Structure 1
Amino acid sequence: MNRPGHPDAWTGAGFETVAIHAGQDPDATTGAVVVPIHPSSTFAQDAVGVPRGDYEYARSANPTRTALETCLAALEGGSVGLAFASGMAAADALLRTVCRPGDHAVIPSDAYGGTYRLFAQVFAQWGVEYTPVPLDDPGAVAAALRPGQTRLLWCETPTNPLLGVSDIAVLAELIHAAGGLLAVDNTFATPYLQRPLALGADASVHSTTKYLGGHSDVVGGAVVVADPALGERLRFTQNATGAIAGPFDAWLVLRGAKTLAVRMDRHCANARRIAALLAAHPAVTTVYYPGLPDDRGHPVAARQMRDFGGMVSFTLRGGEEAAVEVCRRTRVFTLAESLGGVESLIEHPGRMTHVSVAGSPLEVPADLVRLSVGIESVEDLVDDLTKALATLA
């Protein structure tokens, strides 16, 4: 029998059940069915060096954060989950744990701008080399690997913002043969749509700011790993560097995770409708959405994902100025960075989220628009985009 709060305690239960119950037993003292927010920075000890339970100081562990970490580990099917102050803090902790000066990493050729900046401007100065590669091309990945030196293959699938899809099982086989680890940024897919660890990945990374939080009211990150030993090494890094999720932030993400499944079903349904609208519109040149049958990543996405997600990107015949104009015109789609909230957002990656890759090999198309399709009435979303695109046709 697994002890309450262990990630395996709900093995065999449905995703929705796990999201609501894993790590979230009713409070033993009061019977409260919602995990309390524990703001205390320190915890009383029964004797010198004898803590009363698992908690001494809140940087090392906090009961609210423990509940979230247990839930995330269960949702991803991992052994250890760790919650951080942001998605970039989670990525940084994993890199610090796995890589050393002189090591090499492979990253997507269309990686998220913040991830590219972390490799190019932070870890490169520390002596970690990196090679951008189209991860949907196994031959290119194999050619970029350096056996004995490549410690990490960093994968995003789907990618941000071009929605590229990579075969996680194939990448896991390639990097493991080279002696390295596979980390998958699972932010866009969420554990509801995709389980990287079950496909052979060593770590699943999230910006919990996005779909897991789901309401654009919290910033956070997480790493879930399959190997308990790697999990303990990460736990040491988390404690040593201190970029932890605070108790209120952890509570907000935990609350958001409870409704992840129902929200993602709606995000996906709305995104399919929006992608179909854009694919048929004369002002649109390309639609990036793995749910479209003719999308390059569709076959792999259909095999390894439950559904295709709520993110849609597209390019316009009028070029960069047309893209900027469409972003300006929408009313239901709010012009803002970030993604994954209940409200729909629109942005111009080249001037907003991905400005950090301008002039680099990862530069995004200037005429690209990215949508985070929310859970509003899909008819309102269709009407909003139709009006914004009207004079561009």
Structure 2
Amino acid sequence: MDNNSPAKIEANYIHRKLEQKVNKYLTLPQIIAVIGPRRSGKTTFLLHLGKTLKNCQYLNFENQKILDLFDLDIESFAQLYVLPNKNLLLDEFQYAKRGGKNLKFLFDSYPKTKIFISGSGSTDLTIKAIKYLVGRVLVFTLLPFDWEEFLLCRNPQLLTIPKNKKTITPPLASEFQKYFEEYLLFGGYPEVVLQNDIEVKKTLLENIYSLYFLKEVKDLISLVDDYKLKNLIKALALQIGNIISYKELSSFSGFEFRSLKRYLNFLEKTFVSFFLLPYFTNKRTELSKNPKVYFFDTGLCNSLLNNFLPLKARQDKGALIENAMAIALNNTGRELRFWRTKNKAEVDFVVESGGKLSGYEVKAGIEEHVPLSLANFIEKYSPDHALVINKTKGSNKKIGATPINFVPYWKPGIV
């Protein structure tokens, strides 16, 4: 049986949170685009979606004949695949050279057919579709498994425990921590999560980087020598959770400043790393420029550093846990920042959403008191809510009108 056949896909399918978002828009006319990093499960997601739709045609643009027909003879393509179907799924759409223009033609000419496309993170960079598809496309991002999706795959029984359960026994906490450590070390790429053998996990992560990402880089920007880019990515992996210095990154990678900014933007567009800007109201006392860096997947970060040591032996344990919290918060779609004063008082994450302000501080160990930097932030800004994310729960507290909750970083759904 083909590995991408619907029956094979359904037998191994892990439900993704993105399904609920996409399902709300199935009856709207707009094209639905699912983008994300390579190997994040977009093909599997698209095939599963196809199982729920009637009169549906799935096409993969890795098939050169189908791709050529789309690029060179869009009217014949439409007669063969669009007109007879109510739903059309186009996978690996980044390979289309005339993607935006031809999609506009299909959308305008065949309004009775709902079109879905999926593509790697570079799709919005390569098809130049924006000027053609304004108002015609809804874009959704499928990232590697988050912590809850990881548990759904590895030990779904742990997700049956009520999120509001006040007391978690030590054996149960130990079980959560065991899987959370696996998640931190090897990340959430579906094919990696599904494997039990550690060496296989390492090999798969290495291949995701070398065979998929670097290939995409060369295809997209015609990079002949990727030595500088490799240096840049490794430098970022060494700095997760830290404020980046453009001068240091330029020196380490060999990129001059203008090229450096371009490649940092490229790494975010291709879902390797993302950057948080500082939250500030006073430029004289608070940082306002340089961002902090995190990776979309901690497993990929560890692979780049060739470091899969257990957390107890890691000097960057705190940074990995902080990165996992950054992923969880970033996935909510809310604007995520950090706060730091010029006196180096820092709050890891600041979220402003719906007119409400929240502060989050992450600690790798047991934290029973409100960290001083978080207390300073609360006194200055009076946020609506604050969270101290640490190894155990701790007692909830209050400063002024701001409630402060203490939660374990391994507990699902804390953000």
Larger Rg: 2
Give the TM-score normalised by structure 1.
Answer: 0.29
The answer to which structure has the higher helix fraction is 2
Task: Say which structure, 1 or 2, has more relative contact order (CA 8 Å, 6+ apart).
Answer: 1
Give the TM-score normalised by structure 2.
Answer: 0.27
